[in-house]
Every structure is written in structure tokens, then in C-alpha cells.
Amino acid sequence: SIMPATLSAISNGASHGVLFKGGTHLESLSSVKVIAFDKTGTLTEGRPAVTDLIVKDSLDKTETLSILRTIESLSAHPLAVAIQSFAEQEGAGLLKGIEIRDIPGSGLEADWEGKTYRVGKPGFVGKAEAAAFADGALERLGNEGKTVVFLRDEHGILALAALKDTLRPEAVQALNSLRALGVRTVMLTGDNEQTARAIAEEAGIDEYTAECLPETKVARLKELEKTYGAVAMIGDGINDAPALATSTIGIAMGDGTGVALETADVVLMKNDLRRLPYAHRLSGRMNRIIK
Ligand code: ADP
Ligand code: MG
């Protein structure tokens, strides 16, 4: 049976927008030594906008954007949503008969009229080719904290789009409060090294790992757990679900995708990162009452 103190703390949490799926998660939260954050949609708003577009000289810009828009139209990833609305504004249409496969943490693969396309990060479309196509722009865009997405077919790179996302306004304050509670903060992101560093510095995160695949996030969490003890992971995407399931406590952003919400033990209904130190303190207070 559930103790009155636990019940009252769970209801206190709920009224502050923190949903605990059970008393044990509330109990263990104050023992967490490390909180690992996903980047896009968790530390950042997750509403990136396209800032730069480079299309291969010999190609028609609108036609190329139509391919990109159609492929991204089957993804709910924040980058996909941004690219779709940009392409639409630029007059790109939607093509019929494209078949798409989602590759979490990397991008998308598509078949259309006998051709195979890939949309996603440099490592997914071919790092060397991506760098050669960008011709020096890749590092500059990364240093500006922008994420670069490429489109390729089986012959080579067709286009790149750079996107800029913004840090959540409360992120710095939330991380400072967690540090004051003795919690180490870590960022695990699928994004490239430069972009990851720019966001990590802006947020004031203790450490980060870039270019993570979903399984890299899982492996890194296990290492952190060995080194520091109980680890919580907070994320919003399909790509975060395995990590949410692995960590001592999985936390989902309320606006996250269905899989993240289902896998998580705790949900931040209001997407406000300051609810993390709040929930940690709530857990500490409750444990002092019931022990
Ligand atoms: P994060 O950890 O920042 O939330 P993800 O793990 O979801 O990022 O994705 C890692 C990288 O893979 C992105 O930075 C992007 O380059 C690429 N990517 C993933 N999904 C898509 C998509 N739908 N469209 C374009 N690029 C994508
Ligand atoms: Mg994310």
C-alpha cells in the first residue's frame, strides 16, 4: 500500500506539472547523482528554423526542396518540421509515391522513382562528401550552434540546410539549481561536435557527448551509472526511448513523442526544466518524512 506522505508528494508534484508514474520513482529521484539531457527538444526549444540553404549548382532549387520536403513530411522530428515549413514557404510541393524509412538518431532514407535518397547528419550521408560539398561552411555553421542536414542520392550530395534552435530560457537557471543540489549535468546528443559544444557552453552543462546514436546514449548512461551512481535521463524523442528505459529514472518532456512519454517514469507536463530541481527537492523532503 502507498504511504500517505508518498501520496501527498505525488499530488504535490502533479499540481506543479510533474507526473510521477508511481511512488518508487519519486523515492529514488533524490538519490540521483547525474542527470543526462538530450539536446534537441529538451535543453533547446526544439523549434529550429532553417537559416541557410545550399543547393548543388546544376539542380533546380524548388525541385530539390520538394524532394526534401516530401521525405521530411513523414517525420515528426523537430528538424523535419522546420524543414517542411521552410520548403513550403519557398514554394516546394509534395511528391507522390515516396517510400520512407526512419533511422532514429541519423535521419531518413527514401526510395522514389528508382532512386534512393538519404536525409540527415554528415555521418549518415558520408562525412567526407558532406564536408567537400559544404566547402568550409560546415565548421562555421557548427560554431554558430547550427545543425546541418544534408540531402543525397546514390551519386552524391544534392543540398544542405542549416538550422538554428534556441536554448530554453530557463535552462541555465535549472542547471545551476541542480548543481547546487549536488547533481552532475551531462548532455547526450546525436548532433555533431561543434554544434554540441556551442549549446553545452551556452547552457553551462558539466560534460557532453556528441554524435550519439540511440545505443550510444544507452552505453554512455551505463558508464555514468558505474562512475557516479543513480542516473536520470531526460529526453523527448523516439531516439531517446532506449536511454529512458535504461536509466534509473527516465523523464520525458510533456511535448515529447508518444514513445518517450510511454517509456518514461516521470513526465514534465509543462516542459519547464526548473521542475527538475523542484522534483529532486520534493523527493528529498518526502524521503525525510517516511524514513
Ligand atoms: P538530438 O540528440 O539532438 O535530439 P537526434 O538524435 O534526434 O538529435 O538526431 C541526431 C542528428 O541526426 C540530428 O542532429 C540530425 O542531423 C539527424 N537527424 C535525425 N532525424 C532527422 C530528420 N528527420 N531529418 C533530418 N536530420 C535528422
Ligand atoms: Mg530530442
What does the pLDDT average to over 125-134?
Answer: 96
- Round to whole Å and give the CA distance between 282 and 8: 11
What does the pLDDT average to over 32-50?
Answer: 95
**224-260 residue pLDDT tens:** 999 999 999 999 988 899 999 999 999 999 999 899 9
What does the pLDDT average to over 2-17?
Answer: 91
Tracing cell 544534408 back to the chain, one arrives at 150
Report strand pairing: 147-152 vs 115-120: antiparallel
Indicate which ligand has the atom closest to the C-alpha of 77.
Answer: 1
Q: What is the ipTM of this complex?
A: 0.96
Instruction: Report how far ligand 2's centroid is from the alpha carbon of 291 (Å).
Output: 37
CATH level 2 (architecture), domain 49-164: 3-Layer(aba) Sandwich (3.40)
Class of 4-45+167-290 in CATH = alpha beta
Count of alpha carbons within 13 Å of 150, Cβ hemisphere only? Answer: 26
* Ligand 1 atom at minimum distance from 77 CA: 23
Residue 61 pLDDT grade (very low, low, confident, very high; cuts 50, 70, 90): very high
Please tell me the residue having the least CA distance from ligand 1 atom 18. 107
Tell me what pLDDT residue 99 has. Answer: 96
C-alpha dihedral, 258 to 264 to 270 to 272, nearest 10°: -130
**Ligand 1 in contact with 121 (CB < 6 A)?**
yes
- Residue 38 catalytic? yes
Instruction: Report how far ligand 2's centroid is from the alpha carbon of 268 (Å).
Output: 14
Structure letter (DSSP) for residue 214 = H
| Pair 92, 62: CB distance under 8 Å | yes
Tell me what pLDDT residue 3 has. Answer: 82
Residue 2 pLDDT grade (very low, low, confident, very high; cuts 50, 70, 90): confident
3-class secondary structure, 174 = helix
Here the cell at position 122 is: 554528415
Tell me what pLDDT residue 11 has. Answer: 95
Indicate which ligand has the atom closest to the C-alpha of 188.
Answer: 1
**Ligand 1 in contact with 209 (CB < 6 A)?**
no
**Ligand 1 in contact with 190 (CB < 6 A)?**
yes
Residue 1 pLDDT grade (very low, low, confident, very high; cuts 50, 70, 90): low
| Pair 176, 204: CB distance under 8 Å | yes
Return residue ranges of the chain for CATH 3.40.1110.10.
49-164
What does the pLDDT average to over 178-202?
Answer: 95
> What is the per-residue burial (b if ≥16 Cβ within 10 Å, else e) of 25-64?
bbbbbbebbbbbbbbbbbbbbbebebeebbbeeeeeeeeb
Instruction: Report how far ligand 1's centroid is from the alpha carbon of 84 (Å).
Output: 15
**Ligand 1 in contact with 118 (CB < 6 A)?**
no
Tracing cell 513523414 back to the chain, one arrives at 74
C-alpha closest to that of 217 among 37, 75, 46: 37
Q: Taking CA 244 as the corner, what is the angle to CA 239 and CA 250, rounded to the nearest 5 degrees?
A: 145
Return residue ranges of the chain for CATH 3.40.50.1000.
4-45+167-290
| Ligand 1, pocket-test mutation among 150, 239, 244, 259, most atoms within 8 A of CB | 239
Instruction: Report how far ligand 1's centroid is from the alpha carbon of 73 (Å).
Output: 15
